[in-house]
Amino acid sequence: MQQRFTGTSRYVATPDLMLAVNAAITLGRPLLIKGEPGTGKTQLAQEIAHALERPLFEWHIKSTSKAQQGLYEYDAVSRLRDSQLGDPRARDIANYIVKGKLWEAFESDVQPVLLIDEIDKADIEFPNDLLRELDRMEFYVYETRELVKAKHRPIIVITSNNEKELPDAFLRRCFFHYIRFPDAETMTRIVEVHFPGLKRELLAEALAAFYRVREMPGLRKKPSTSELLDWIKLLVAEDVPPEALRSDDPKKSLPPLYGALLKNEQDVHLFEQLVFLHRRSR
């Protein structure tokens, strides 16, 4: 029986997420993860590696990343320099092949976890250039005429923030999971995982206040899990009593330290205006 991923002591996985991860592991397909910013997409790969005790290779994609960089790069410039200086190393082209993350993962002696982070940041052709590599888990190094094959099919986790549509041919080869924003129940578990000693009432009040802020119509950037965790960290550090968070009317007052939850000034203004209006109307 294969190892199954069931979340870790630091990471709460919902049943559907666990199933998606386990399906991807069992069938050796890449798992594509989407979801609101701050719902722990990147962390997932780290936690899988941690839970299954596998080495983790992280490949962070930028807008300038090329698929080739994940395989290998041929450092032609230093070879030219070496050859002009008469360095004997320059004779062997293999000395100038720099391995990429995918190659490193392919060479791992135990089945590794490979994270391809924010694949949507790259050029539109990027995913297409990786089709064969992800399918067959092998690629060809033209300079040295060498075929690199994966020793073990890596567990591949790909995250996307949806900035670009991914090509269909690529999607067909992946499993897909969308991390929903956690409901209050899951959120309680997440917070408890991160702040085990937290007073129960403070937690309940904080969560209630948090969801009230999230439900405010018209917010540009709704606070997400990672912002909630930051906020609670602040509340604990400042020793805010639970009573300070309680308010019968969500719009009557600003929660303390709200700067951790609202990340843009229009939102803060909107909030303050609403609070002001409601105070006046009383």
Partner 1 sequence: MLVRFFTELRAAGVPVTVPEFLTLLEALKERVAWLSAEDFYYLARTCLVKDERHFDRFDRAFAVHFKGAERLFERFVAEVPKEWLEAAVSRALTEEEKRQIESLGGWEKLLETLRRRLAEQRERHEGGDRWIGTGGTSPFGSRGYNPEGVRIGAGGGNRSAVKVWERREYRNFDDTVELGTRNIKLALRRLRRFAREGAAEELDLEGTIDATARNAGLLDVKLVPERHNAIKVLLFLDVGGSMDAHVRVCEELFSAARSEFKHLEHFYFHNFLYEHVWRDNRRRHTELTPTLHILRKYPPDYRVIVVGDATMSPYEITLAGGSIEHWNEEPGAVWMQRLCAAFPHLVWLNPEPQERWEYTPSIRITREIIGDRMFPLTLGGLDRAIDALKRGTTAGQQAASAPGEEERPA
**H/E segment holding residue 192:** helix 184-194
Interface of this chain with partner 1, residues 160 to 179, rule: CB under 8 A: 162-165, 168, 171-172, 174-178
Dihedral sign, CA of 42, 46, 52, 57?
positive
* Binding of residue 76 to partner 1 (CB under 8 A): yes
Interface of this chain with partner 1, residues 211 to 250, rule: CB under 8 A: 218, 220
**Residue 199: C-alpha distances to residues 55, 203, 204, 242, 260 (Å):** 36, 6, 9, 9, 20
Minimum CB separation of residue 220 from partner 1 in Å reads 7
Number of residues that bind partner 1 (CB under 8 A): 34
* Binding of residue 20 to partner 1 (CB under 8 A): yes
Minimum CB separation of residue 16 from partner 1 in Å reads 4
Name the residue among 189, 175, 184 with its Cα closest to residue 30: 175
Sheet holding 175-179, edge to edge: 56-60, 113-117, 155-160, 31-35, 175-179
Pattern of binders to partner 1 over 81-120, x per CB under 8 A? --xx------------------------------------
Would you mind telling me the total number of residues written for the chain in this entry?
282
Taking every pair of Cα atoms in the chain, the longest distance, rounded to a whole number of angstroms, is: 85
Name the residue among 200, 264, 258 with its Cα closest to residue 234: 258
3, 6, 10, 23: residue in contact with partner 1 (rule CB under 8 A): 23
Binding residues for partner 1, per CB under 8 A? Answer: 15-16, 19-20, 22-24, 26-27, 29, 32, 34, 76-77, 79-80, 83-84, 124, 162-165, 168, 171-172, 174-178, 180, 218, 220
